[in-house]
Amino acid sequence: MPVITTIDDLKRLHKRRAPKMFYDYAESGSWTEQTFRENSTDFDLIRLRQRVAVDMSDRSTAATLIGTDVAMPLALAPVGLTGMQCADGEIKAARAAEKFGVPYTLSTMSICSIEDVAAHTTQPFWFQLYVMQDEEFVDNIIARAKKAGCSALVLTLDLQILGQRHKDLKNGLTAPPKLTIPTMINLATKWHWGLGMLQTKRRFFGNIVGHAKGVGDASSLSSWTNEQFDLRLDWDKIAKLKEKWGGKLILKGILDAEDAKKAAAIGADAIIVSNHGGRQLDGALSAIRVLPSIAAAVGDRIEVHMDSGIRSGQDMLKALALGAKGVHIGRAYIYGLGAMGEAGVSKALEIIHKELDVTMALCGRRDVRALDRDVLLVPQDFE
């Protein structure tokens, strides 16, 4: 077992252990992957100000996110097919988040269902919804999330139509994998993964299969989802869904100040400044680049969160200093999960937390809630 000290170490191990089609599914962006790449490289353009001779004996990373106490202002983002990176992946990720004291968000497109995750955790988690045309399905899944005690609904707004990822098409991505000759050759080297999958008792895509009209198994799911994403989703519908849910609402996929103002106007509790990890509109700006203008546009009217590109505690500190009250990570914990299951997700959280804490100290800051732009050197062409 190699010594793991960075998120990149987890990524290498994930690549080695998970089947190629699922590793590629995580480690890809849409079309040319420009936005996917810039989500990371733009973080590198921002530098940190070293400060010395500041008492740093009493430091804190504790904060609140939409009114909930957290060990650090970070949540695990919803990731479809998490349970294909590692058997029962959603349950393992949720348990690691719960142990660490940060929220976990379950995707509509998860392998384990809302009920599976609720049965294996003790703290409320967040549920992410893709709005589908079938209103009965939407009403029903909202009711299931309420029943399971989910404490926030994360409504994803940037995927009513799918951005194309070439790797997934070339790999013939399906869950479970179709047994073609190249897939079988690849799976033969992934015995650790296969053993876990053989032992799991979950029904695949438990949020949808058996709950949507005409979807009786995973193979009938893909045409259903392609037809069902609601192309007519607009702010009126979002406001109606807010009423239906009646609890904390987070709007995910905001990348423009005008949309952020609309989110504040309908009374959402938070937005996530996000380009879906570079998986949707290729050519869009990186999330860290648009964050300052969005934070300035909405002020204190709504909580501003951010995701896309966070791979370290330094990245996290930069986002918080540029106006995010919290960050969400996708791939950073998925690498951990694919590498080492629940222990890998815990490891990813520990790595990021330690990096955040030490970086704060070296910048002469003690309280994560008081980070501001003064701690950074930001290039002039950043918005």
Query: What residues are designated binding site for FMN?
Result: 78-80, 107, 128, 130, 156, 252, 274, 307-311, 330-331
Distance between CA atoms of residues 80 and 95, nearest Å: 17
Helix or strand holding residue 250 (H, E): strand 249-254
Select from 6, 46, 53, 54 the least CA-distant residue to 370: 54
The beta-strand segments (E) located in 22-88 are 47-48, 63-65, 68-70, 74-76
Of 209 and 365, nearer to ligand FNR (C-beta) is 209
For ligand FNR, the binding residue among 4, 17, 24, 25 (CB under 6 A) is 25
Residue 102 or 365 having the CB closest to ligand FNR: 102
**Pairing mode of beta strands 68-70, 63-65:** antiparallel
171 contributes a contact to ligand FNR by CB under 6 A: no
Segment 141-170, which members bind ligand FNR (CB under 6 A)?
156
Q: Which residue has the tokens 């053989």?
A: 198
> Residue 158 CB, nearest distance to ligand FNR (Å)?
8
328 tagged catalytic: no
Query: Site residues for ligand FNR, window 305-364 (CB under 6 A)?
Result: 307-310, 329-332
Please state, in angstroms and rounded to a whole number, the distance separating the CA atoms of residues 108 and 96: 20
The CB-of-145 to ligand FNR minimum distance in angstroms stands at: 14
Residue 332 or 365: the one with the smaller Cβ distance to ligand FNR is 332
Nearer to ligand FNR, 73 or 78 (CB): 78
Contacts (CB under 6 A) with ligand FNR, residues 71-110 = 77-80, 107, 109
Neighbours of 220 (CB within 10 A): 13
Shortest Å distance, C-beta 106 to ligand FNR: 9
Q: Containing H/E element for 274?
A: none
Q: Which one, of 61, 57, 47, 50, lies nearest residue 363 by Cα?
A: 50
Comparing CB distances to ligand FNR, the nearer of 153 and 332 is 332
Binding mask 250-289 for ligand FNR (x = CB under 6 A): --x---------------------x-xx-x----------
Q: Which residues are annotated as a binding site?
A: 25, 78-80, 107, 128, 130, 156, 165, 252, 274, 276, 279, 307-311, 330-331
User: Helix or strand or coil: residue 329?
Assistant: strand
Of 120, 166, 211, 276, catalytic: 276
Buried b (16+ CB within 10 A) or exposed e, 136-171: ebbeebbebbbebebbbbbbbbbbbeebebebbeeb
Q: Return the axis-axis angle of helices 89-100 and 331-362, rounded to nearest 10°.
A: 20
Q: How far is the CB of 109 from ligand FNR (least distance, A)?
A: 4
Minimal distance, residue 55 CB to ligand FNR, in Å? 33
**Distance, CA of 48 to CA of 124 (rounded, Å):** 35
**Residue from 39, 61, 113, 121 binding ligand FNR (CB under 6 A):** 39
- Residue (of 183, 190, 222) closest to 205 by Cα position: 222
* Closest residue to ligand FNR, based on beta-carbon distance: 330
Distance CA 266, CA 284 (A): 25
**CB nearer to ligand FNR: pick between 80 and 313:** 80
Q: Is 128 in the site for ligand FNR (CB under 6 A)?
A: yes
On whether the CB atoms of residues 6 and 351 are closer than 8 A, the answer is yes
Task: Give least dist CB 288 to ligand FNR, A.
Answer: 11
Kindly identify the residues of this chain, within the stretch 44-63, that bind ligand FNR according to CB under 6 A.
none
- Give catalytic residues, as residue numbers: 276
What is the contact surface with ligand FNR in residues (CB under 6 A)?
Answer: 25-26, 39, 77-80, 107, 109, 128, 156, 252, 274, 276-277, 279, 307-310, 329-332
